[in-house]
């Protein structure tokens, strides 16, 4: 996995401790968005291809399978965040060898975690699908998709880990290329396998596997082949590093498991309104990352910038980074919201939706911007906590939004106003937890600054 050679000139120093914080935020977020948006767009196309087969049951099945698969993906995302947080902080402090060693150990642990989760989920796919509302007509197709796609989570763990290393050192372009590679593979293979070879759902699942293998290869080429920022893993070092890595990773993984729980609950609520609503919700689920993928990229961009400046003791730049990221969040959501409002009718026609499914998609286009602005603020807060040593705060906020901020409000909204009410109910929790999350992020920077000052005074020589 790693490169035994010491890092040469390609091993990047801390890049984010100087220069405009707004520029760093925009560049990292923009390059991250390109890669993420590419993969989300082709995922949406994949669902579109399935929808074009003319069977709403298959569309719903892929939607349910995606929700189950997100649990495994969330583990990988949590480990990727841990890699980025630890490597960026070590680089900010000038400890390049420590960064290389932590990267190697974290990647090994990420693959092990992905293997364990996959092994635990595969035998229980049918009950898991039924738990989130999949009916007897959708379970077989969803289960087939997952049996093919889920084991590739191990390759995805490697790819996302390498991407975390690349973004931690500030190589936004190569970090973007990891996801672009997967998107390119999906764009080519999906129509070929689904339509050309008549493989349907199985073809979509096979494409997922090949795309994740491409993730891993391109990530390895950048993080190891170019930058040599991953040492050769050694068992003794992995065991020694497991403690500090897991102290960041476990709460981060816990944080990232909250959104799938909220999505599963919402899917369960939507399932009560019939297959058409489930199909509409599946389209909304795939449209969300395409429309608001920039917010995911923005939160990923903030982490390495905060981590390097924390390592360098630049608390003023940390506050500036949060302010700039909140500004970019508002501007981005305003532009996307306008685009959704204008695209309501074309999107409905594109996916061939009518009735309850069309109504749900139209409502999302009307209300989604408000909901996701506050989600974006919460993402920024969570990125701060995960990279600044307070991952349990991120866990508490995310689980608070997934439970108190989603379940009672979605249930009540569904009772009062049907599927649209359920979707609107989730916005209430987003608003509350988003504002609190960003406020606590600024407070966290202040806590670290005071702690750093106290440590400096304690270490100063006395007269």
Q: If residue 94 lies in a helix (H) or strand (E), which one and from where to where?
A: none
Question: What pLDDT digit, counting tens, does each position of 325-348 carry?
Answer: 999 999 999 999 999 999 888 888
- Count of CB atoms within 10 A of residue 118's CB? 18
d(CA 376, CA 295): 6
Mean pLDDT of 66-86: 78
What DSSP state is assigned to residue 302? H
Q: Indicate whether 232 pLDDT > 70.
A: yes
Mean pLDDT of 39-55: 70
Cβ-based neighbours of 55, under 8 Å, separated by 6 or more: none
Q: How confident is the model at residue 37 (pLDDT cuts 50, 70, 90)?
A: low
d(CA 168, CA 13): 10
Q: Indicate whether 168 pLDDT > 60.
A: yes
Q: How confident is the model at residue 43 (pLDDT cuts 50, 70, 90)?
A: low
* Highest mean pLDDT out of 27-36, 259-268, 289-298, 405-414: 405-414
What mean pLDDT is reported for the chain? 82
d(CA 173, CA 134): 40
Give me the pLDDT at residue 408, please. 92
Question: What pLDDT digit, counting tens, does each position of 425-459 carry?
Answer: 888 888 889 999 999 999 988 888 888 776 655 44
Cβ-based neighbours of 366, under 8 Å, separated by 6 or more: 340, 341, 344
> By CB neighbour count within 10 A (0-12 exposed, 13-18 middle, 19+ buried), where does 30 fall?
middle
Of 226, 266, 228, give the one whose Cα is nearest residue 412: 266
Give me the pLDDT at residue 439, please. 92
Mean pLDDT of 151-161: 88
For 277, half-sphere exposure in the C-beta direction (CA atoms, 13 angstrom radius) is 20
Q: How confident is the model at residue 39 (pLDDT cuts 50, 70, 90)?
A: low
Q: How confident is the model at residue 287 (pLDDT cuts 50, 70, 90)?
A: confident
Alpha carbon dihedral 95, 96, 102, 106, in 10-degree steps, equals: 140
Q: Which of 13-22, 90-99, 321-330 shows the lowest per-residue confidence on average (mean pLDDT)?
A: 13-22
Q: If residue 51 lies in a helix (H) or strand (E), which one and from where to where?
A: helix 21-51
Give me the pLDDT at residue 433, please. 92
d(CA 38, CA 430): 26
Distance from the first to the final alpha carbon of the chain: 52
Q: Which of 8-17, 145-154, 237-246, 383-392 shows the lowest per-residue confidence on average (mean pLDDT)?
A: 8-17
Give the whole-number percent of the chain exceeding pLDDT 90. 11
Give me the pLDDT at residue 343, please. 87
Cβ-based neighbours of 47, under 8 Å, separated by 6 or more: 59, 62, 63, 282, 283, 286
DSSP three-state, residue 250: helix
Of 234, 224, 207, 117, give the one whose Cα is nearest residue 163: 224
Model-level pTM greater than 0.85?
Answer: no
Give me the pLDDT at residue 40, please. 64
Write the DSSP assignment of 135-146 as a string of letters.
-TTTHHHHHHHH
Q: How confident is the model at residue 151 (pLDDT cuts 50, 70, 90)?
A: very high
Q: Indicate whether 7 pLDDT > 50.
A: no
Of 248, 251, 282, give the one whose Cα is nearest residue 267: 282
Give me the pLDDT at residue 327, please. 92
């Amino acid at each position: 996995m790693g490169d035994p050679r010491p890092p040469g000139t390609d091993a990047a120093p801390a890049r984010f401790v100087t220069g405009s914080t707004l520029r760093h935020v925009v560049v990292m977020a923009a390059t991250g968005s390109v890669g993420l948006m590419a993969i989300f767009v082709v995922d949406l196309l994949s669902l579109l291809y399935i929808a074009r087969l003319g069977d709403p049951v298959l569309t719903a099945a892929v939607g349910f399978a995606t929700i189950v698969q997100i649990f495994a993906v969330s583990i990988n995302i949590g480990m990727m965040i841990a890699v980025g947080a630890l490597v960026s902080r070590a680089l900010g402090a000038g400890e390049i060898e420590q960064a290389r060693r932590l990267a190697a150990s974290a990647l090994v642990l990420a693959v092990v975690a992905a293997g364990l989760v996959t092994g635990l989920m595969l035998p229980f796919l049918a009950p898991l699908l039924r738990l989130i509302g999949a009916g007897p007509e959708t379970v077989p197709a969803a289960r087939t998709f997952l049996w093919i796609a889920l084991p590739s989570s191990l390759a995805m763990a490697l790819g996302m880990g390498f991407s975390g290393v690349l973004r931690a050192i500030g190589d936004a372009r190569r970090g973007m290329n990891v996801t672009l590679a997967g998107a390119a593979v999906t764009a080519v293979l999906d129509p070929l396998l689904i339509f050309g070879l008549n493989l349907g759902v199985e073809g979509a699942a096979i494409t997922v596997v090949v795309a994740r293998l491409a993730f891993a290869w391109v990530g390895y080429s950048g993080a190891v082949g170019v930058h040599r920022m991953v040492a050769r893993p050694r068992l003794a070092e992995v065991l020694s590093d497991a403690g500090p890595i897991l102290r960041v990773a476990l709460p981060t993984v816990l944080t990232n498991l909250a959104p799938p729980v909220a999505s599963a609950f919402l899917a369960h609520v939507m399932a009560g309104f019939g297959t058409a609503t489930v199909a509409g919700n599946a389209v909304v689920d795939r449209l969300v990352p395409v429309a608001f993928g920039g917010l995911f990229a923005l939160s990923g961009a903030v982490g390495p910038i905060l981590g390097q400046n924390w390592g360098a003791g630049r608390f003023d730049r940390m506050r500036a980074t949060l302010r700039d990221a909140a500004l970019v969040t508002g501007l981005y959501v305003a532009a996307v919201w306008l685009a959704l409002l204008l695209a309501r009718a074309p999107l409905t026609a594109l996916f061939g939706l009518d009735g309850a499914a069309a109504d749900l998609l139209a409502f999302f286009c009307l209300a989604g911007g408000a909901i996701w602005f506050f989600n974006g603020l919460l993402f920024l807060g969570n990125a701060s906590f995960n990279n600044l040593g307070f991952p349990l705060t991120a866990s508490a906020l995310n689980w608070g939004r997934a439970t108190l901020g989603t379940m009672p409000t979605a249930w009540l909204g569904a009772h009062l106003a049907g599927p649209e009410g359920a979707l609107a109910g989730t916005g209430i929790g987003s608003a509350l937890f988003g504002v609190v999350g960003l406020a606590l992020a600024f407070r966290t920077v202040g806590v670290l600054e005071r702690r750093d000052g106290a440590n400096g005074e304690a270490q100063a020589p006395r007269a």
